[in-house]
Structures are given as structure tokens and as C-alpha cells.
Structure 1
Amino acid sequence: MPPESGRLERMKGVQQAESIRDQERAGRPKIHVLDSDWNTNNEFWKHFGGKQNVGWIKAPRGAGNDEDYELERKAEVQLFKCSDASGKLDITKISQ
């Protein structure tokens, strides 16, 4: 994994890979973790059409902080109550 990635980010990446393997692919895929050769492993990058096709991905320094991103997303969460008990669909905002 990139040297800029933190321990939590690496752990979450492995958890996501395990979830996809176990929940969506019936445990068949193998998980490979790239460490020192993550940036030069052509076998990995060919699955994305080659490294030149992912140039739009920002470097971690320019992408921002994960914790700040999560806090911003939490601030955008809204809760609605949806009910058709009266025979008509009623949508009421509960909180923001």
C-alpha cells in the first residue's frame, strides 16, 4: 500500500476486500496486499487498463484528510419518516 496510507486506512482496505470476497463472491477470490511494489506492480495496474489510465487519482497530499471528509458527510445526513398509513404517501423530515 502507498507509504502515505495510515494504519486505519490499510485495515479498512483489507476489511472491504474481505467483505467483497465473503459476501459477494462466496469466498472464492484471493486477497493480495501490495506493500513495497504497489506503485510499480504492472500485474496490478493492468486490471485498470494500465497505470496511465488512473492519472486522475489525487495523491494523498492533495486529497484531504479522511476524518474531515467523514465529518462533512455526517453533517449532510438527514432523517425522514415515510408513511402510507393514511392511504397517501407522507414524507416528513425528522432531523438534519
Structure 2
Amino acid sequence: MEIQYADLVLLNGELKERGNRYRVGYKGEDVACLLPPGECCWTGEMEEDALNCIRAHYQAKGERVTFSEDRLYFRVQKGEGDFSPSCSNEM
């Protein structure tokens, strides 16, 4: 499913409001990437918050997110369901 630029703008706004330094970016027509902060700012808690923010955004639209194994890339699919980490790192 195609990644909508407007969704990335909304997600970045939500992450900023949460005080989360992660950002999302456009990788390709159907893949977006999670851009982590510098190493000095990274925390596992911040990463989980960013992933949950992305999941909640798309779940509210009746869509689901599939993250790559390294959790740096994601795809969006129609329909609700479990969030499977089955995307490859080769996105």
C-alpha cells in the first residue's frame, strides 16, 4: 500500500509533541523509514514510544504496520490485525 506523505507529516508532529526525537521519512512509494536520534539521545523507551505512535496512527485508520527486522523501515497494509515484524531489512 502506498505511504501517504501527509501521514508522515502528522506522525512527525505527534512524535515532536511527545518530546520524542525519532522522526519518520519517505523511503519509497510503499516504504517509510524510522529515523533514530543520535546515539547520545537514543533510549529503548523512546524507540518503543515511536513504534507505538506509528502503530496507533495507522490502526486508527483501519490499517496495520509491518516493521523490518531491525525496526528501521515499515510498510502499511489495509486491514487490522496483529503487527508482524515480517518485513525484510532489504526494503
Under a length normalisation based on structure 2, what TM-score does the superposition of the two structures give? Answer: 0.30
Hey, which of these two has a bigger chunk of strand by percent? 2
Q: Which has the larger radius of gyration?
A: 1
| Bigger RCO of structures 1 and 2 (CA < 8 A, at least 6 apart) | 2
